[in-house]
Amino acid sequence: MANLFPTSRDFFFPQTHFFDHAFDSFFTKTNQPSVDIKENEHNYKMAIDLPGMNKEDINVTYNNNLLTIEAQSNQETENSDEATNYLRRERVSRSFKRQFIMNNIKFDGIECKYENGVLNINLPKNDQKNLEQNYKINIQ
């Protein structure tokens, strides 16, 4: 019964509050893709794990210093066997949206490539402030 509701809280120490860590895993475990962001003096480099997605399912835009990465995938599987009258049909739908504030990005130098389930984005820095405009990023 102790594993019924996982928590990192210790019941034997009175200084811990009852609900301090009780919901940690409930609120922190999401289906959002993992994102790594590195910065150097010339650019930002991002790597987003998107296994099972197709390049056509992914949309990347940059608008008013806000980088938006969206993806939606719908898959359907159907197996049937007429001899046993067995029919199985499964549907899987996944979608997500992540946004990052990325100031002063040079639009014309953005590179985006999707390969082996990983979306790599290179965002070169710009010394000047960006004008308000919407920019759709092409994925290679």
Overall pTM surpassing 0.75 (yes/no): no
Give whole-number Cα distances, 11 to 4, 6, 16, 23, in Å. 15, 12, 8, 15
Q: Please report, for the chain, the start and end positions of each structural domain, with discontinuous segments joined by +.
A: 34-137
Q: How far apart are CA 10 and CA 5, in angstroms?
A: 13
Token pair for 113: 């490539």
Token pair for 115: 């390969």
- pLDDT by 10s per residue, the chain, length 140: 444 444 444 445 555 555 555 555 555 455 688 999 999 999 999 999 998 888 999 999 988 888 999 998 887 777 777 777 767 777 788 888 999 988 888 877 889 999 999 999 999 998 766 555 666 777 87
Q: Which CATH number fits domain 34-137: 3.30.1460.30, 3.90.1150.10, 2.60.120.1140, 2.60.40.790?
A: 2.60.40.790
The 10 Å Cβ neighbour count of residue 50 is 20
How confident is the model at residue 35, as a pLDDT? 92
What type of residue sits at position 67?
Answer: L
